[in-house]
Structure 1
């Protein structure tokens, strides 16, 4: 199972990157950190700088078909920066076009809104995104984790760092179906 983790050069919430990354690794998968620039990304603990992580692939060179799934970690600044990058938005949309599973936590569903893949789906997020999700044609629910099987691919969403255990378990369940 080869899984892309999409993060901006600065602003990803560290625990929302590291915990799902660890879950994929411990399940025998290969996590691949994809960003809009080469080098390292700067993670954050809320508003404070945390660790940096090496970028494995640049979004302009990466293709969705080379992966079994996509994880979109949150943090307020991460999806806000990514949704301004056409290559990143296209990369996310490609996973849906190919029927590959996607998992997004916290503020990351902003990328789903920007990629225009929310319509007709049921998902959760950080509560402040509920109006954006509804305006994009989705149904927002306040649940720890939500799996929405819609057509060919599944979408796993979660609200916040406190939901990471359930988020990790759900994304592994869904992604493992893809890589079989």
Structure 2
């Protein structure tokens, strides 16, 4: 069954494959995918957090799509992207509404950082890039070093992965959500 999926990114510092692979693969699987940024401007992607890559288009602003009900919200990683996203109140609000509605959130690499500031990490079983493990544990999450972790605690589904090497399993878990 086709899902309505929202991918949220900031405009800079998003790890290229963590944005492009889920968008492309989920569309290939027949899902409706919308990419939103805070301003609606495109995303400057990076490789390995250090090298600028290409610019990926956005479809809308977060505020324009905020009222819609999405089956899944996907948060790509990239250290700078995740660090900017975690303090964005619009992103926090849409994630809180998604969880309150019992709908799924998927986050890869550094993106689970955003769950801390949105107060959605406590009592969740998850994975992430290893450098934010202690941050997530200090926020009340249980961390595991596995390619993908699906957690249904708290009446909403959380799907997490560690890095671009886990994208195949990550996309499959989103597809099955």
Counterpart in the other structure of 1:34: 36
CA RMSD after TM alignment: 1.1
Q: Which runs of 5+ in 1 are unaligned?
A: 175-180
Deviation at 1:64, TM superposition (A): 5.4
Counterpart in the other structure of 1:166: 169
* The 10-residue stretch of structure 1 (68-77 or 39-48) with the greater mean CA deviation from structure 2: 39-48
Deviation at 1:38, TM superposition (A): 2.0
Counterpart in the other structure of 2:55: 52
The structure 1 segments of at least 4 consecutive aligned residues displaced by more than 3 Å after TM superposition are none
Q: Which runs of 5+ in 2 are unaligned?
A: none
Report the secondary structure of 1:130's partner residue. helix
Task: Please show how residues 71-150 of structure 1 align to structure 2 within 5 Å.
Answer: 71-150=74-153
- Give a deviation string over 1:29-51, Cα, whole Å, max 9, x none: 11101101122111111211111
The CA distance in 2 between the partners of 1:93 and 1:65, in whole Å, is 13
- Give a deviation string over 1:108-136, Cα, whole Å, max 9, x none: 00111110011111000001111111111
- Give a deviation string over 1:73-94, Cα, whole Å, max 9, x none: 0011111011121111111211
Report the secondary structure of 2:110's partner residue. coil
The CA distance in 1 between the partners of 2:138 and 2:56, in whole Å, is 34
